Structure 1
Amino acid sequence: MDYMKKHERHKLLKQLLVKNNVYRQEDLVDLLAKRGIEVTQATISRDIKQLQLIKVPLNDGSYRYTLPSEKEVDAAVKLKKTLQDVYVSSDIHNEMCVLKVQPGNGPTVSGLFQQMNYPEVFACISDDDTIMIFNRSTQAASKVQEEIRKLTNED
């Protein structure tokens, strides 16, 4: 089993994404394993967030991972545009906000939300279409909900 530094693994992951259709995180684990590099699915999940990989729809209805566009865009602009494209609904309960998005977009929106470094936000977790935003107080949750409404033009 080879150990690979994170930046080297990220470089290899980018190369693999260009040369292969990658539909699932497990596909990346398998592609690395074929090269003698053992990683866990959790490591790949972190790599996906750090590389800001996105899932794009294919004609057959499936999704594959791809690199974000090389053009560097401000996180706030990316978050606003992404939310306007994929937002479904949001709600709050006590210190938590739940944000529903179109399938396949949860990790991307969660990653962008975390890049914003909102002081009210303690942590975000996501799955395919839902982001759970843990806030520092109920007042913080209300403030974050208002920010989501502004970003999605749902005033």
Structure 2
Amino acid sequence: MSNKKYRFQIIRDLITDQEISNQDELLKKLIDLEISVTQATLSRDLRELKVSKVPNSSGQYIYRLTESNVPSTIVTHNEKVSLVFSQNIGVIKTKPGYANRIAFEIDNTYFKTILGTIAGDDTVLIIMKENCTREEVTEELRRIIPNINK
């Protein structure tokens, strides 16, 4: 993997997993991970990755990937969505007609824990990456399905 691709992946991971509010904070985290980058390069990277600042639950502005990289929530709170696991496979059960959209969003979103999906009408089969926990998969899926298994 090229340095730029690797750096982009690390930036995506940091922004997705943590609440980072400015470039200095992000730059320090990259340096802590032994990734050498200038402020100018980081600015270009953020622009190229389409990173925006959005308010968090307490009103502080933090970096997030834009909608082209991270989907908006696709399931409303009144819809029941369940997730069960067997080995490295997960099965999402939803309302009829929703599975294809959910699978599309999962496949077109960067998830550290999911290799891919297969969808039916009301069922999505998820293939987990090796060495991922079920809890990690569930937490990542909550980015697009906040009410999964609640």
- State the TM-score, normalized to the length of structure 2: 0.45
Greater helix share, 1 or 2? 1
- State the TM-score, normalized to the length of structure 1: 0.44
